[in-house]
Chains A and B, each alone.
Chain A
Amino acid sequence: KNQVEQSPQSLIILEGKNCTLQCNYTVSPFSNLRWYKQDTGRGPVSLTIMTFSENTKSNGRYTATLDADTKQSSLHITASQLSDSASYICVVSANNDMRFGAGTRLTVKP
């Protein structure tokens, strides 16, 4: 069983709408949690990183939250743009070990 579960698996929204992606993890001991954006045909690019003591982090229209007690994180995208169409991968680190989620495939339609 994967230690990092993401939902939904895929999502289609209209341009300009908001959306929220979920990440639940069981990785322990927790070091940090990153959200990556992976455009088609490209490698993942880091959007945000949060440690145990941080419960929210923003990067432009992207806002990540972390609840270390329930081991849940979310990535909220505001006012979506066509260029937001990509896979979003949640990665949880325990010491030097990184665990990748399967990703959420987001499609933004005009």
Chain B
Amino acid sequence: EAGVAQSPRYKIIEKRQSVAFWCNPISGHATLYWYQQILGQGPKLLIQFQNNGVVDDSQLPKDRFSAERLKGVDSTLKIQPAKLEDSAVYLCASSLVAGGTYNEQFFGPGTRLTVL
């Protein structure tokens, strides 16, 4: 079974530039998550999709971050304009459904963003 795919794996940009990340979840997984993981910290949820609808985006900095999952499959996360503090690993995860006691999230390898 193919895992969660993410691209690019690494990205270096200058502050105020724009960047986009792509995620393809495991086939059949209805729920998709984007996390931000700053070095030395645990992942922080940015946004959660159920199919192509947003379930939770309460921690997404909406003035600069946006995400979409138009067809309920793959997703893109965009930052415009980027700030130095956006330097982090952006993880995408998917699960069959949201919630549930044994529902497991499967994570992709992440995209490491460096903002100079």
Interface residues of A (CB under 8 A from B): 4, 31-32, 34, 41-46, 49, 51, 89, 91, 95-96, 98, 100-103
- B82: CB under 8 A from chain A? no
Asked if A98 and B40 sit within 8 Å, CB to CB, the answer is: no
Asked if A41 and B109 sit within 8 Å, CB to CB, the answer is: yes
Interface membership of chain B positions 68-101, coded 1 if the CB is closer than 8 angstroms to chain A and 0 otherwise: 0000000000000000000000010100001101
Question: Given the complex of chains A and B, what is the CA–CA distance between A31 and B101 in angstroms?
Answer: 7
Q: Take A31-B101, A49-B102, A51-B101 as given contacts and tell me if A43 and B42 are in contact as well, using a CB distance cutoff of 8 Å.
A: no
- A-B CB contacts (within 8 Å), total count: 45
Asked if A44 and B107 sit within 8 Å, CB to CB, the answer is: yes
A54 to chain B, nearest CB (A): 11
Q: Take A100-B44, A102-B40 as given contacts and tell me if A43 and B107 are in contact as well, using a CB distance cutoff of 8 Å.
A: yes
Asked if A49 and B104 sit within 8 Å, CB to CB, the answer is: yes
Collect the chain A residues with CB atoms within 8 Å of residue B4's CB.
Answer: 43
Asked if B42 and A45 sit within 8 Å, CB to CB, the answer is: no
Question: Given the complex of chains A and B, what is the CA–CA distance between A103 and B42 in angstroms?
Answer: 6
Asked if B110 and A42 sit within 8 Å, CB to CB, the answer is: yes
Asked if B101 and A32 sit within 8 Å, CB to CB, the answer is: yes
- B25: CB under 8 A from chain A? no
